[in-house]
């Protein structure tokens, strides 16, 4: 399998999709490097992976800080000798109607969901370009494919990621750098996303949706593994993932 021995960096790795992906990829022979703000959770996950016979390392990471993204990539290369995949998974979803004017939350979503992805790309792209190989995977959302009430700014960041990744794929093909991209659009997945919602009505609505439909994050992790495991000459660009019973 092409997963084996690849060095995979994962942001937002302390829970949810990031954690599930780290555990699955490590079980298939990848060397995973975990990044998130909660160091104690990263350590616990890495310790579990190592105890199970896998290879893992971790480093606290705030994706909104460009230098810390660069340090994260440098740490991974120093620890394992190379960088093969950057899974840009960190994100937050404080949904609210625009009329609530929660502008501080708008700014935070732009900083994490969009600038955080750009910072990760800027940190890893020189490595991928230099070695003429590498893969960026991002977690967008079904809100990056269609509009939802209460999700204007969240959706805007996720639509932006969709375009960003497609242009990155096209430019890599044109420049001959062989960088692969994959964008994932999850629907109701059991994660900590809802914990960032401060608007009571929006939270009630989202809780009702997730309580009715959500599936576990390992379902997304299996798709992340599928994207990585393709032959190096094959790019699989987009995956929409959600509960079979959810009408999205």
Q: Is 16 exposed, middle or buried (0-12, 13-18, 19+ CB in 10 A)?
A: buried
Say how far apart CA 150 and CA 51 lie, in whole Å.
42
**Per-domain residue ranges for the chain?**
7-240
Arithmetic mean of pLDDT, 28-47:
97
String of DSSP letters for 2-36: TTTT-EEEEESTTSHHHHHHHHHHHHTT-EEEEEE
* Per-residue confidence (pLDDT) for residue 158, from 0 to 100: 98
**Best CATH choice for the domain 7-240 from the list 2.60.40.3140, 3.40.50.720, 3.90.1300.10, 2.20.25.570:** 3.40.50.720
Cα Rg of the chain (Å, integer): 17
Out of 58, 154, 185, 210, pick the active-site residue: 154
Say how far apart CA 155 and CA 95 lie, in whole Å.
10
Task: Look up 213 and say whether it is catalytic.
Answer: no
Contact 108, 92 (CB under 8 A): yes
Residue 1 has pLDDT above 80, yes or no: no
Assign 2 a pLDDT band (cuts: 50, 70, 90): confident
pLDDT tens track for 87-144: 999 999 999 999 999 999 999 999 999 999 999 999 999 999 999 999 999 999 999 9
- CB contact set of 104 (below 8 Å; sequence gap of 6+): none
Residues paired with 56 in a beta bridge: 32
Say how far apart CA 233 and CA 16 lie, in whole Å.
30
Residues paired with 82 in a beta bridge: none
Residue 70 has pLDDT above 70, yes or no: yes
pLDDT tens track for 182-201: 999 999 999 998 999 999 99
């Amino acid at each position: 399998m092409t997963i084996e021995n690849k060095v995979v960096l994962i942001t937002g790795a302390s829970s949810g999709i990031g954690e599930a992906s780290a555990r699955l990829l490590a079980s298939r022979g990848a060397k995973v490097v975990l990044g998130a703000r909660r160091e104690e959770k990263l350590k616990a996950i890495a310790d579990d992976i190592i105890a199970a016979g896998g290879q893992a390392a971790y480093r606290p990471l705030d994706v909104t800080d460009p230098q810390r993204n660069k340090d994260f990539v440098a740490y991974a290369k120093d620890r394992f000798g190379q960088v093969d995949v950057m899974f840009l998974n960190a994100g937050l979803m404080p949904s609210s109607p625009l009329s609530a004017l929660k502008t501080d939350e708008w700014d935070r979503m732009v900083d994490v969901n969009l600038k955080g992805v750009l910072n990760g790309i800027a940190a890893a792209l020189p490595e991928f370009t230099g070695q003429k190989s590498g893969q960026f995977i991002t977690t967008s959302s079904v809100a990056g494919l269609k509009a939802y009430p209460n999700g204007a700014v969240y959706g805007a960041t996720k639509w932006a990621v969709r375009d960003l990744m497609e242009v990155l794929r096209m430019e890599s093909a044109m420049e001959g750098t062989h960088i692969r991209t994959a964008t994932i659009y999850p629907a109701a997945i059991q994660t900590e996303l809802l914990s960032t919602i401060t608007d009571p009505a929006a939270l009630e609505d989202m809780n009702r949706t997730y309580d009715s439909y959500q599936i576990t994050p390992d379902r997304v992790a299996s798709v992340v593994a599928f994207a990585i495991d393709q032959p190096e000459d094959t790019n699989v660009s987009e995956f929409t993932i959600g509960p079979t019973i959810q009408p999205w």
